[in-house]
Chains A and B, each alone.
Chain A
């Protein structure tokens, strides 16, 4: 148990639809990260939060993507007007007490 849950675990959507994913830490963590992993690749950094502040965004995060962490606890990642290239595993990670990152189970997005 990594202390983080993600919902949904799998989402199938049609191209052009909007989708939202949620990351829920079990306990309080200051830093929360989002990564994206496509088939056969390692995870790639998207963005991270220090409490409720979004401090860095990757160039991968186009203007169709938005992330929030309204109260410094759970976080959401929204993709608007989904494209087939958005099909991937979206991973949330929390920073542990000695700065390591622990990943959640991920949300697998399939865009048809």
Chain B
């Protein structure tokens, strides 16, 4: 079993829809949770960075962490074609530790 599981997709949704992206993990030591967005042939771009359980909102993006279920989510409201990218969940045990990534979910927003 991999430490971080993420459905690779692709996930196609119409413009304006709410997108839900999810990851599960097995290592209960993870405390820091991140979501990165990666466009083709570019480096990952940090979207959300959260500590422990709870919700965090930033504009159209909401990150949720449920440590009891070892489950994290990213919601994108009012999705736009420019949101089409690969979304990588990531996590670490200590705040300055190496990051463990999921495989990424390819998202397509259809105009």
Which of A's residues lie within 8 Å of B, judged by CB?
2, 6, 31, 33, 35, 40-45, 48, 56, 58, 89, 91, 95, 98-106, 108
- Residues of B in contact (CB 8 Å), total 24
Interface contact A104-B98, CB-CB below 8 Å: no
The 6 sampled A-B contact pairs (Cβ below 8 Å) are A33-B98, A40-B104, A99-B95, A100-B34, A102-B46, A103-B36
Interface contact B96-A43, CB-CB below 8 Å: no
CA distance A40 to B100 in the complex (A): 15
The binding surface of chain B is classed by DSSP as: loop
CA distance A108 to B43 in the complex (A): 10
Across the A-B interface, the 8 shortest Cβ-Cβ residue pairs: A42-B101, A99-B95, A103-B43, A45-B98, A100-B49, A105-B43, A106-B43, A103-B44
CA distance A103 to B45 in the complex (A): 7
Which of B's residues lie within 8 Å of A, judged by CB?
4, 6, 8, 32, 34, 36, 41-46, 49, 88, 90, 95-96, 98-104
CA distance A101 to B101 in the complex (A): 12
Residues of B within 8 A of A56 (CB): 98
Interface contact B104-A42, CB-CB below 8 Å: yes
Interface contact B43-A42, CB-CB below 8 Å: no
Interface contact B90-A42, CB-CB below 8 Å: yes
Minimum Cβ distance to chain A for residue B8 (Å): 7
The binding surface of chain A is classed by DSSP as: strand
Residues of A within 8 A of B98 (CB): 33, 45, 48, 56, 58
Residues of B within 8 A of A48 (CB): 98
Residues of A within 8 A of B49 (CB): 98, 100
Starting from the known contacts A43-B44, A43-B101, A99-B32, 17 additional A-B residue pairs (CB-CB under 8 Å) come to A6-B43, A31-B96, A40-B8, A40-B103, A41-B103, A42-B90, A42-B102, A42-B103, A43-B88, A44-B101, A45-B100, A48-B98, A58-B98, A100-B34, A100-B46, A103-B43, A106-B41
